[in-house]
Amino acid sequence: MKLMINNTIVEIKTDESLYDLLKRLGMITGNLSSDPIAAKLAGRVFTLNYIPERHKDVNERESIRRAVTASGGVIKLLTYHDHAGRECYVRTAQFILFLALRRLYPTARAKMNCTVGSGVYIKVTGTEDFSVDALRKEVDAIVREDFLLQRRRITTAEAINYFENTAQYDKARLLSYREHETFDIYENGDYADYFYGELAPSTGYLRSYAILPAMHGFIFVFPDVKDPDTVASYREMPNFFGVYAEGTRWGELMHCETVADLNELCEKGGIRELVRVNEALHEKRFAEISDMISDRGARVVLLAGPSSSGKTTSANRLATQLRVHGKTPILMSLDDYYIDRDKIAPGPDGTVDLEHINTIDTELFRTQLRTLLTGGEVELPSFNFKKGRREYTGKTLSLGRDSVIIVEGLHGLNPMLLPEDVNPSLIFRMYVSPLLPLNLDDHNRIATSSLRLLRRTVRDFETRGASVQKTLSMWESVRRGEEQWIFPFQEHADVIFNSSTLYELSVLKKHIYPLLEAIGPHEDCYDQVRGMVKFLNYVREADIDDEIPPTSIVREFIGGNTFYRKET
């Protein structure tokens, strides 16, 4: 059979896997920066252990042949530089880590917790003798074994029985909500697990990593994105970690730590109480933050956060709480300080990076901020997005005795926005992000970025008329901008607000699932959609929109947020 791999026609033998083909062609060199990790055919990501052509028909392989046919034999190889390739590497690391922990501490419970910068925190309980050094040695040994990572299909009932017998009740409970009769597992010896997506072809691919000690567990550090053959630099983030830990504690208190817990609340009628408690927690936190601002005597709040974190609603709810203190909040947007589009120089690739700090007129912002804080008056700009240029409409601003400016924007925490001579006590920095503490199961977390993408897809469709395809096509660029211009400054915030709610997945599913099901294999975003559908399949819908307050952050995405309603 002839295939076109990365624009080169090659001949693959019957019963030969893509991995064996690539080794035969000398394309596996041992360098993570260049070695393929997975393959993409007809919009879907496949493991390199897949066999495009077999002598004997096997039902579970039929989809592979269909994919080869659908792609016309055209295959794109994915490396660590591709987002999908990095996800395969992450899942491979998870399998190896949990296998090592099972070998060393058979009765321990290990749980994926949260991403911390370039690493992920994994909590280990149920053992008194956990050792990071021992874990490193066992992981190294598994990597040296370099055994193939192949899936085996069993019935869902068999999978539930296995996980119950091995005391992995979190997985057994999750699978009880699975509607398909079969389930795929990866296994080694008597250990079996699954990570809801493809893995690298073998354990030997785990070439760049570090394992660092942490309280009640460890931090696993991934390769550097730009130079995958080296381990990424890691810095501790105590503020970020503390906020996530607080969310985890609330999940424990409300008995909602996993999707199975959420589903039970939906089925047994406890979901409405969960909404009320979540919203009360948010209101309490906004009140506490307004207390901090007022006690300090701050005149400016710089509010930043990644896409779909709920910045606009957070700014409005904070403004409401500041009014309780007798303050006069003034809402401003950094978007109004954009430089005219025709004045932005394109990058080396000829495109304009609209996420770059240089698209903001930081000098104008600094000048106006200094003027306002020293008692002067400024004329505020307004950016006309249709025309792509900044305009002035005669709107002026000066601060009264009780005025507090709330400036919302992507670059809100960037130090380039502040005048050098500003009194630090006058500035309050706030970072907003939905740090969802809800897991699928102990070994599979729901990434914050996944929740944000669900939010953005629903919002853009419901309120901006944007298709799912358009939103997903922009997401990788959005994520690159966040990595460069938001995340490096999040730990500098005076306060980090967790804008997630434990109930929202059950609400968002109702809005987004029909849109995702309409995406076919011919679409470029098909694999992204399949990944979203995979975990949403385990989530029970909840028809509780009437319980969600009109000022809720969730309303920013599903509609009905009264902060957007114009007064008459």
Output the domain CATH number for residue 555. Answer: 3.40.50
* Closest C-alpha among 147, 144, 149 to residue 47: 149
301 in a structural domain: yes
Query: Which pLDDT does position 86 carry in this prediction?
Result: 95
The C-alpha torsion from 165 through 167 and 168 to 172, rounded to 10°, is: 50
In the structure, what pLDDT confidence band is assigned to residue 568 with cuts at 50, 70 and 90?
Answer: very low
Q: Which of 53, 79, 105 is the last residue of a domain?
A: 79
Are residue 56 and residue 131 in the same domain, yes or no? Answer: no
Distance CA 208, CA 230 (A): 6
Quick: pLDDT tens for 47-67. Answer: 999 999 887 654 444 545 677
Are residue 220 and residue 303 in the same domain, yes or no? Answer: no
206 in a structural domain: yes
Q: Across the chain, what does the average pLDDT equal?
A: 93
Are residue 29 and residue 102 in the same domain, yes or no? Answer: no
255 in a structural domain: no
Distance CA 526, CA 512 (A): 15
Average pLDDT for 96-106:
97
Average pLDDT for 145-174:
95
344 in a structural domain: no
Residue 256 DSSP SS3? coil
18 in a structural domain: yes
Distance CA 122, CA 110 (A): 7
Are residue 75 and residue 127 in the same domain, yes or no? Answer: no
Give the domain extent around 163: 92-238
Are residue 174 and residue 305 in the same domain, yes or no? Answer: no
Quick: pLDDT tens for 274-303. Answer: 999 999 999 999 999 999 999 999 999 999
337 in a structural domain: no
51 in a structural domain: yes
- Report yes or no: 478 and 505 within 8 Å, Cβ to Cβ: no
Are residue 365 and residue 489 in the same domain, yes or no? Answer: yes
Distance CA 371, CA 526 (A): 51
Residue type, 270: G
The sheet with strand 182-188 has its strands ordered as 151-155, 182-188, 191-193
Distance CA 415, CA 491 (A): 13
Quick: pLDDT tens for 302-343. Answer: 999 999 999 999 999 999 999 999 999 999 999 999 999 888
Average pLDDT for 250-274:
94
Quick: pLDDT tens for 201-254. Answer: 999 999 999 999 999 999 999 999 999 999 999 999 999 989 998 999 989 888
Q: Which of 212, 238, 264 is the last residue of a domain?
A: 238
- Report yes or no: 158 and 402 within 8 Å, Cβ to Cβ: no
Are residue 298 and residue 155 in the same domain, yes or no? Answer: no
Are residue 106 and residue 74 in the same domain, yes or no? Answer: no
Are residue 355 and residue 438 in the same domain, yes or no? Answer: yes
Are residue 99 and residue 66 in the same domain, yes or no? Answer: no
The two structure tokens encoding residue 272? 């409405």
Q: What angle do CA 379, 385, 390 make, to 5 degrees?
A: 30
Is the pLDDT reported for residue 347 higher than 90?
A: no
Q: How many domains does the chain have?
A: 3
Are residue 199 and residue 279 in the same domain, yes or no? Answer: no
Distance CA 311, CA 300 (A): 16
Q: What angle do CA 423, 315, 410 make, to 5 degrees?
A: 75
Are residue 64 and residue 104 in the same domain, yes or no? Answer: no
Cα dist from 380 to 16, 339, 341, 493, whole Å: 66, 14, 19, 26
Q: Which of 54, 79, 104 is the last residue of a domain?
A: 79
Query: Which pLDDT does position 567 carry in this prediction?
Result: 58
Distance CA 237, CA 380 (A): 36
Quick: pLDDT tens for 418-451. Answer: 998 899 999 999 999 999 999 999 999 999 999 9
268 in a structural domain: no
